[in-house]
Amino acid sequence: MAGNRTFTMIKPGAVRNGHIGAILAKINEAGFRIVAMKYTKLSAEKAGEFYAVHKERPFYGELVEFMSSGPIVAAILEKDNAVEDFRELIGATNPAEAKPGTIRALYATSIGENAVHGSDSDENAAIEGSFHFAGTEIF
Ligand code: ADP
Protein backbone atom coordinates (compact mmCIF):
# COMPACT_ATOMS: atom_id res chain seq x y z
CA MET A 1 0.00 0.00 0.00
CA ALA A 2 2.84 2.42 0.83
CA GLY A 3 3.94 2.39 -2.80
CA ASN A 4 0.54 3.70 -3.81
CA ARG A 5 0.63 6.82 -1.69
CA THR A 6 2.30 10.20 -1.83
CA PHE A 7 2.17 13.34 0.30
CA THR A 8 1.53 16.87 -0.95
CA MET A 9 1.18 20.42 0.35
CA ILE A 10 -0.38 23.32 -1.51
CA LYS A 11 2.13 25.95 -0.41
CA PRO A 12 1.25 29.37 1.11
CA GLY A 13 1.82 31.29 -2.17
CA ALA A 14 -0.67 29.20 -4.15
CA VAL A 15 -3.17 29.43 -1.27
CA ARG A 16 -2.77 33.24 -1.16
CA ASN A 17 -3.22 33.43 -4.93
CA GLY A 18 -6.53 31.54 -4.77
CA HIS A 19 -5.41 28.32 -6.49
CA ILE A 20 -6.55 25.67 -3.96
CA GLY A 21 -9.62 24.68 -5.99
CA ALA A 22 -7.83 24.55 -9.35
CA ILE A 23 -4.96 22.48 -7.93
CA LEU A 24 -7.31 19.99 -6.22
CA ALA A 25 -9.22 19.67 -9.52
CA LYS A 26 -5.97 18.79 -11.37
CA ILE A 27 -5.17 16.22 -8.67
CA ASN A 28 -8.61 14.62 -9.00
CA GLU A 29 -8.56 14.69 -12.81
CA ALA A 30 -5.18 12.90 -12.76
CA GLY A 31 -6.81 10.00 -10.89
CA PHE A 32 -5.54 10.51 -7.35
CA ARG A 33 -7.83 9.69 -4.42
CA ILE A 34 -7.55 12.00 -1.41
CA VAL A 35 -7.12 9.76 1.64
CA ALA A 36 -6.29 12.55 4.12
CA MET A 37 -6.52 16.35 3.90
CA LYS A 38 -6.29 19.40 6.16
CA TYR A 39 -6.11 23.21 5.93
CA THR A 40 -3.45 24.18 8.42
CA LYS A 41 -0.43 26.39 9.06
CA LEU A 42 3.13 25.36 9.84
CA SER A 43 5.01 27.17 12.60
CA ALA A 44 8.58 28.18 11.65
CA GLU A 45 9.76 25.37 13.92
CA LYS A 46 7.60 22.74 12.19
CA ALA A 47 8.56 24.01 8.71
CA GLY A 48 12.22 23.81 9.72
CA GLU A 49 11.72 20.25 10.90
CA PHE A 50 9.88 19.23 7.71
CA TYR A 51 12.70 20.60 5.52
CA ALA A 52 15.58 19.62 7.86
CA VAL A 53 17.23 17.69 5.01
CA HIS A 54 17.89 21.10 3.34
CA LYS A 55 19.40 22.70 6.47
CA GLU A 56 22.79 23.33 4.87
CA ARG A 57 21.38 24.74 1.60
CA PRO A 58 21.59 28.52 1.07
CA PHE A 59 17.81 28.81 0.56
CA TYR A 60 16.86 27.01 3.83
CA GLY A 61 16.05 30.21 5.80
CA GLU A 62 13.91 31.65 3.04
CA LEU A 63 12.18 28.28 2.52
CA VAL A 64 11.26 27.99 6.21
CA GLU A 65 10.05 31.60 6.30
CA PHE A 66 7.92 31.09 3.17
CA MET A 67 6.44 27.75 4.27
CA SER A 68 5.36 29.26 7.60
CA SER A 69 4.08 32.52 6.06
CA GLY A 70 0.45 31.44 5.75
CA PRO A 71 -1.93 28.50 5.59
CA ILE A 72 -1.28 25.40 3.51
CA VAL A 73 -3.35 22.43 2.38
CA ALA A 74 -1.70 19.14 3.36
CA ALA A 75 -2.92 15.89 1.83
CA ILE A 76 -2.11 12.22 1.35
CA LEU A 77 -2.96 10.97 -2.15
CA GLU A 78 -3.47 7.43 -3.40
CA LYS A 79 -2.97 6.04 -6.91
CA ASP A 80 -0.87 3.32 -8.53
CA ASN A 81 2.70 4.62 -8.82
CA ALA A 82 1.68 7.67 -6.75
CA VAL A 83 5.10 9.23 -6.04
CA GLU A 84 6.35 9.18 -9.62
CA ASP A 85 3.02 10.10 -11.23
CA PHE A 86 2.53 13.02 -8.85
CA ARG A 87 6.06 14.37 -9.54
CA GLU A 88 5.12 14.20 -13.23
CA LEU A 89 1.87 16.09 -12.57
CA ILE A 90 3.57 18.89 -10.59
CA GLY A 91 6.57 19.37 -12.91
CA ALA A 92 10.15 20.49 -12.25
CA THR A 93 11.15 22.32 -9.03
CA ASN A 94 11.89 25.45 -11.08
CA PRO A 95 8.64 26.49 -12.81
CA ALA A 96 10.69 27.93 -15.69
CA GLU A 97 11.71 24.32 -16.45
CA ALA A 98 8.32 22.70 -15.70
CA LYS A 99 6.48 21.16 -18.65
CA PRO A 100 3.45 23.12 -19.91
CA GLY A 101 0.24 22.06 -18.17
CA THR A 102 1.97 20.88 -14.99
CA ILE A 103 0.81 22.38 -11.68
CA ARG A 104 4.06 24.28 -11.17
CA ALA A 105 4.07 25.61 -14.76
CA LEU A 106 0.52 26.87 -14.18
CA TYR A 107 0.62 28.14 -10.59
CA ALA A 108 4.22 28.59 -9.31
CA THR A 109 5.70 32.07 -9.23
CA SER A 110 9.39 31.16 -8.62
CA ILE A 111 11.69 28.25 -7.73
CA GLY A 112 11.18 28.98 -4.03
CA GLU A 113 7.44 29.72 -4.20
CA ASN A 114 6.62 26.79 -6.41
CA ALA A 115 2.96 26.14 -5.58
CA VAL A 116 3.13 22.54 -4.34
CA HIS A 117 5.23 19.94 -2.58
CA GLY A 118 5.39 16.33 -3.74
CA SER A 119 7.28 13.52 -1.96
CA ASP A 120 10.35 12.23 -3.78
CA SER A 121 10.23 8.57 -2.61
CA ASP A 122 7.84 6.03 -1.07
CA GLU A 123 9.87 6.21 2.13
CA ASN A 124 9.59 10.00 2.38
CA ALA A 125 5.89 9.87 1.44
CA ALA A 126 5.26 7.68 4.50
CA ILE A 127 7.42 9.89 6.78
CA GLU A 128 5.84 13.13 5.52
CA GLY A 129 2.30 11.74 5.72
CA SER A 130 2.75 10.78 9.35
CA PHE A 131 4.38 14.16 10.08
CA HIS A 132 1.00 15.77 9.33
CA PHE A 133 -1.64 13.11 10.01
CA ALA A 134 -2.59 10.70 12.78
CA GLY A 135 -3.73 7.24 11.69
CA THR A 136 -7.32 8.18 12.60
CA GLU A 137 -7.23 11.05 10.05
CA ILE A 138 -6.37 8.80 7.09
CA PHE A 139 -9.29 7.19 5.22
P1 ADP B 1 11.25 19.51 -4.84
O2 ADP B 1 10.25 20.26 -3.97
O3 ADP B 1 10.93 19.66 -6.30
O4 ADP B 1 11.45 18.08 -4.41
P5 ADP B 1 13.79 20.13 -3.53
O6 ADP B 1 13.52 18.98 -2.62
O7 ADP B 1 15.10 20.21 -4.22
O8 ADP B 1 12.66 20.24 -4.66
O9 ADP B 1 13.63 21.48 -2.72
C10 ADP B 1 12.62 21.65 -1.75
C11 ADP B 1 11.99 23.02 -1.91
O12 ADP B 1 12.99 24.01 -1.62
C13 ADP B 1 11.53 23.36 -3.32
O14 ADP B 1 10.25 22.85 -3.62
C15 ADP B 1 11.56 24.87 -3.31
O16 ADP B 1 10.41 25.42 -2.64
C17 ADP B 1 12.79 25.16 -2.45
N18 ADP B 1 13.98 25.36 -3.30
C19 ADP B 1 14.67 24.40 -3.97
N20 ADP B 1 15.71 24.93 -4.67
C21 ADP B 1 15.67 26.26 -4.42
C22 ADP B 1 16.47 27.38 -4.82
N23 ADP B 1 17.53 27.21 -5.63
N24 ADP B 1 16.12 28.61 -4.37
C25 ADP B 1 15.07 28.79 -3.54
N26 ADP B 1 14.27 27.78 -3.10
C27 ADP B 1 14.55 26.54 -3.54
Tens-digit pLDDT profile for residues 96-114: 999 999 999 999 999 999 9
Q: Which residues in 63-78 are b (16+ Cβ under 10 Å) and which e?
A: bbebbbbebbbbbbbb
Name the residue at shortest CA distance from atom 17 of ligand 1: 112
Per-residue confidence band for 2, with pLDDT thresholds at 50, 70 and 90: very low
E strand or H helix that includes residue 10: strand 5-10
Task: For residue range 5-30, list pLDDT tens digits in order.
Answer: 999 999 999 999 999 999 999 999 99
Residue 136 CB contacts under 8 Å (≥ 6 apart), including other chains: none
Task: Decide the pairing of beta strands 72-78 and 33-40.
Answer: antiparallel
Task: Clarify whether 117 is annotated catalytic.
Answer: yes
Domain boundaries, the chain: 5-137
H or E segment to which residue 39 belongs: strand 33-40
Class level of CATH domain 5-137: alpha beta
Distance 136 CA to ligand 1 centre (A): 30
